[in-house]
Chain A
Amino acid sequence: MEEQLPTRHALAALDVVYEMSTVLDTGLSKSELAILMGLCENSVNPEALAAVVKELRREGAALAGASAEISR
């Protein structure tokens, strides 16, 4: 019980943050958001994280494009 209480709070918080994220149209999935929140809670610089997200998306898009070319 003592362990579960923070977890439940964390889940509730995650829900709220996810809603915010959808309102803001960030395009982040719930699992991605959970990872990011964890990182933030561990004092990772949000600016840096934002840069990482951007970078990963760019890389992901590039990879998708490349695989599409390969499959073609």
Chain B
Amino acid sequence: MSPSVSAAGGVATGDESAVADAIRRDLQAHGKAEQALKFAELHQKLLRSSSGGALANRWAILHLLHRVSQQRRGTPSSASTNTSSFAWEGWTGDGSSLALGASNASVSLDESLLDMSAGSIPLASAGAPTASGGFWPAAAPSRLSAHREWTEVVQGSEFEVPEQALVRDVVFCCQGIDGQYIAYEATADAYIINPRVGVSRAARDLLRRLCELGWLYGKVKHFVDAQSSEQENGGAVMQALCSALASELREYYRLIAVLEAQSNEMPVTSFDEAATQRPYLTLRRLSVWLSEPTRRMRVMANLAAACSGKKGGKLLAALHKHAQHGDPFVHSFTSSLLAKASLPLYEMLAKWLYRGELFDPHGEFFVTAKEGVKEHELWASGYSVNASMLPPFIPSSVAHLALRTGKGINFLQKCCGSSGGWSADEASQLQRELEAAGPKGGLALLGSQDFDLATRSDDGGLSVEGVVEDDPVSVLGLGRGTGALERVVSGAARKVDAKLIEVLGRTFQFNEHVLAIKRYLLLGQGDFISALMDAARADLDEPASAVSSYALASTVDSAIRASCARYDDPDILGRLRVRMMPHASDEVGWDVFCLEYVTTAPINTILTETAMNRYLRLFNFLWRMKRVEHALNHAWSQLKPSGTTAQFAAAAAAAAAAAGDAEGGATGLTSARLGGMVSLGGAVKRCLRLRSHMAHFTSHFQHYIMFEVLEETWNTFQAALGEASDLDSVIEAHEHYLGSLIEKSLLGARSQSLTRQLSLLLDMVLQFCALAERLHEGVQEVASLERRLRLERDVSTKRGGWGKTGGSAGAASDDKRVEDLARSHGRRFGEDLRKLGGNWLAGLDTFMALLPTQGHVDLRPLVFRLDTFRQHNNARAGGSSASE
């Protein structure tokens, strides 16, 4: 037997528990669980009792007991034999272990151990490969360092690069810093492990996966840095996104800092778990810990790539597109970023909705203003929705509502003067109301969080903390929030629209203006128009170039004074102006005269210049109609049966009654003269008949315009106006009103053939009136000739003579002259009238044939009126022509 002294002279306090464990295991291995339990109890007792210091060297005694019990059992563990065999071969030769023990007995324990460990190190490292188990007895007091060396040696056989160095490199690379073995290669755009160093293939794969994080981080970091360095063109939304990303990066830095700290420190592990003696942070552990950050970073890098170069609504659209992701993690993460990034947008929206301020230095808002817009165009073209900047989570209807609201505020401020301004008080009041009424506090961006719970309960009882966090997300249309946004916007819109309508209706009396236009421009005020017609007739008969608009203006004034119009509002009357249209050389005053109604801001937003031009067209048409009617009336007054012409008519009637009687006629007219009279009288009769036909047509047409078109459209318009709750619908109602007026008056683009025919007919009427005028003159001429002859005859008779030439021959020659004149006039006018009448009837037929082609307007009332009248007249015309 060679008593070998184990190297386990190395006594560390930590070893005691190891020995105790070994004993316990041993006992259990031999099926003595009870003893093992007992032993553990006793060991605990010993630990407690020996606190007084009775036993300083418990490890030794425990070890001794262990050994002795093993000897007794006769089954010494292989470990112990191995240990003793390898550890102290150098000492076995001595065979004087006891001497050693004795010699050391006096020496302090630590010193002896130090001595021994100093000698043991080379031995231990040399014998390490054979130490398959039971390592502890060989361990020196600085066992840990020895062990570390051992692991390094062991690992060195597999990897040239120790894992810990790789871990450190990975942590570096996650911060975008090149490590010792892993460096960023710009050409490959990746982190490359130095191919020359010895790293196993599996580790390389793992490293490649880990380094993705570094690469992603680099992308995100670059994006954030680039934006913060060129904030000028990035825009507020971009800045918000970058700040959200930066805060994510801060979280990430925190993680990296923890990892870095852990990669440097050794963990506290129990001795017997020798496996964990390796560095705490391994590549595998890293890969687990970094998988979640990698996911986040990947999403962020994706977003950064998608968002770069975009701004405002486009950027939000890109974010929103990425938020529509099936992966709940990506969805919620992107949504939260989206919520943060869209804060500036909502701030802009709030400013716009509540104050009408367009604070958008980077052109990110979906409402854009046009520069240099005049006041009256502010509403129509001052602002517009920029569809490309509209984030997809804001519906277009809401955007237009928001546009109208802000536009309304601006309109109130800029166009409505002091009486209609949108004060700051109103703005804040509106904001308060909306935020109090809105179930989720409206945009919640303006920091008001004091909503009461009652109003919020209808939204599903959000927690108080949840409101602020939750709100932007939900407002973003990720679920129920669209409704909230819509409610807020429509609430603001309602308020502003109501104010706008009130200001326009009450302060600026929009309705009165439209009514005035109807009365004056659409000839609704009959007495004024006839007064104007009478007063201006003389002037308007002049050639267009000779008509003075100033003279006409005074005529209009006098017409106003002569009619009920003088009781009207002076402001409205003051807006009535005379306007002369540009004229051709052969036109008369009638053709160029126009009444104009001057509109000012803000009414001219509705009654725009185009609208006023259309009113002018209507006026021209109606005025022409009136003029024709007036001319026909004038013709009648000249040819009316009570005047001179009546004699001719009566003569014609008498002649017709006593055609064959040569002596007929109380005045003693000769049959020859009578024939001339009959001819002229027939012309007059025909003229009157044609006039009445034309007058029927014009009056029916005018009735149609007045009652079927103007009044009906007006009623519809008033109804629409009563329902209109915002300026847009008022404008639309007015446009519709004006449009249907034009259409129904047959002035529309689709009625051009009809318009032309109508104007042809009216021209014919005017020609006829001129003819009637000439006829009247002819009749007057005949009558005056006859009068003169008779006077001369009477004078000569009084003188006592026999007339001028004496005898019946003189009278006969006189009669002959009159008769010739009358006959020539009658023939000429009869011919002209017949021709004109034929043309008129043909023209009327064409017009009537064209009427049914106007499918887009309901012309039935007009057709009905004209048809009955035509039947009637045709019957009459047919009858009279048959009688002739």
A residues sitting closer than 8 Å to B (CB atoms) are 5-6, 9-10, 12-13, 16-17, 19-21, 23-28, 36-37, 40-55, 57
Chain A residues with CB under 8 Å of B39's CB are 20, 23-24
4 new A-B contacts, CB < 8 A, other than A20-B42, A50-B67, are A25-B72, A40-B57, A40-B60, A48-B101
Are B3 and A20 touching (Cβ within 8 A)?
Answer: no
B42 touches A23 (CB 8 A): yes
In the complex, which residues of chain B have a beta carbon less than 8 angstroms from the beta carbon of A48? 3, 5, 97-98, 100-101
A9 to chain B, nearest CB (A): 4
When the two chains form their complex, are residues B101 and A45 in contact, meaning their CB atoms are under 8 A apart? yes
- Interface segment out of the listed B43-51, B387-395, B579-587: B43-51
Most chain A Cβ neighbours within 10 Å, of B55, B63, B97 = B55
User: Which B residues form the contact surface with A (CB < 8 A)?
Assistant: 1, 3-6, 8-9, 23, 27, 35, 38-39, 42-43, 45-46, 49-50, 52-57, 59-69, 71-73, 84, 97-98, 100-102, 104-105, 107, 109, 112
Tell me whether B6 and A45 are in contact (CB under 8 A). Answer: yes
Contacts of B59 in A (CB 8 A): 46
Interface of B is mostly: helix
A66 to B607: give the CA distance in the assembly, Å. 141
Write 27 A-B pairs (CB below 8 A) sorted by A numbering.
A6-B52, A9-B52, A12-B54, A13-B46, A16-B42, A16-B49, A17-B55, A17-B65, A20-B42, A20-B46, A21-B65, A23-B38, A23-B42, A25-B69, A25-B72, A28-B68, A36-B61, A37-B61, A41-B60, A42-B105, A43-B109, A43-B112, A46-B67, A47-B8, A48-B97, A50-B67, A53-B68
Residues of A within 8 A of B112 (CB): 43
Chain B residues with CB below 8 A from A25, complex form: 69, 72-73
Which residue of B has the minimal Cβ distance to A37?
A: B61
> B97 CB to closest chain A CB, in angstroms?
4
In the complex, residue of chain A having the shortest beta-carbon distance to the beta carbon of B11:
A43
Given the known inter-chain contacts A50-B67, A50-B68, A53-B68, please indicate yes or no for A17 contacting B61, CB distance below 8 A: yes
Do the beta carbons of A47 and B5 come within 8 Å of each other? yes
Report the tally of A-B residue pairs with Cβ distances under 8 A. Answer: 138
Q: Which residue of A lies closest to B113 (CB)?
A: A43
**Shortest Cβ gap from A22 to chain B (Å):** 9
Give the shortest distance, in Å, between A39 (CB) and chain B (any CB): 8
**Roughly how many angstroms separate A30 CA and B57 CA in the complex, as a whole number?**
18
Which residues does chain A contribute within 8 Å of B105, judged by CB atoms? Answer: 42-44
List chain B residues, Cβ under 8 A from A45. 5-6, 8-9, 60, 97, 100-101, 104
Contact partner, B3, options A21, A42, A51, Cβ 8 Å: A51
> B4 contacts which chain A residues (CB < 8 A)?
47, 51
Q: Are A24 and B61 in contact (CB under 8 A)?
A: no
In the bound complex, residues from chain B placing their C-beta under 8 Å from that of A44 are 60, 101-102, 104-105
Whether the Cβ atoms of B61 and A54 lie closer than 8 Å is no
Query: Please, which residue of chain B has its CB at the minimum distance from the CB of A45?
Result: B101
User: Are B46 and A24 neighbours in the complex by a CB distance under 8 Å?
Assistant: no
Q: How far is the CA of A26 from the CA of B27 in the complex (A)?
A: 13
**A6-B54 contact, Cβ under 8 Å, with A44-B101, A48-B100:** yes
Q: Name the B residues within 8 Å of A52 (CB-CB).
A: 3, 98
Report if A24-B65 is in contact (Cβ < 8 Å); known contacts: A13-B55, A51-B3.
yes
Question: For residue A44, which residue of chain B has the nearest CB?
Answer: B101
Complex formed: what's the CA distance from A42 to B50 in Å?
16
Taken together as a complex, chains A and B put the C-alpha atoms of A69 and B45 apart, in Å, by 46
Interchain nearest-CB distance for B3 vs A (Å): 4
Q: Smallest CB–CB gap between A21 and chain B, Å?
A: 6
Q: Which of A19, A20, A28, A52 has the most CB of B within 10 A?
A: A20
A6-B62 Cα distance, complex, nearest whole Å: 20
Min CB distance B541 to A, Å, is: 144
A55–B1 touching, CB < 8 Å: yes
> Chain B residues near A9 (CB, 8 Å)?
49-50, 52-54
A41 cross-chain contacts in B, Cβ below 8 A: 55-57, 60
B65 touches A20 (CB 8 A): yes
The 4 closest A-B pairs by CB, nearest first: A50-B67, A9-B54, A24-B69, A47-B6
Contact of A10 among B5, B54, B67, B73 (CB under 8 A): B54
Residues in chain A near residue B61, CB distance under 8 A: 17, 36-37, 40, 46
**Chain A residues with CB below 8 A from B23, complex form:** 24
B97 neighbours in A (Cβ, 8 Å): 45, 47-48, 51
Name the distance in Å between A38's Cβ and chain B's nearest Cβ.
Answer: 10
With both chains docked as a complex, state the minimum distance between the C-beta of A30 and any C-beta of chain B, in angstroms.
13
Candidate in B39, B59, B62, B65 with the most chain A CB atoms within 10 angstroms = B65
Is there contact, CB below 8 Å, between A27 and B49? no
For residue B62, which residues in chain A have a CB less than 8 angstroms away from its CB?
A: 20
- Whether B64 pairs with A49 at a CB distance below 8 angstroms is yes
Could you tell me the distance between the alpha carbons of A25 and B27 in the complex, rounded to whole angstroms? 11
Which of A16, A27, A46, A51 is B72 in contact with, Cβ under 8 Å?
A27
CB distance from B28 to the nearest CB of A (A): 13
Which residues of chain B are near A55, meaning CB under 8 Å?
A: 1, 3
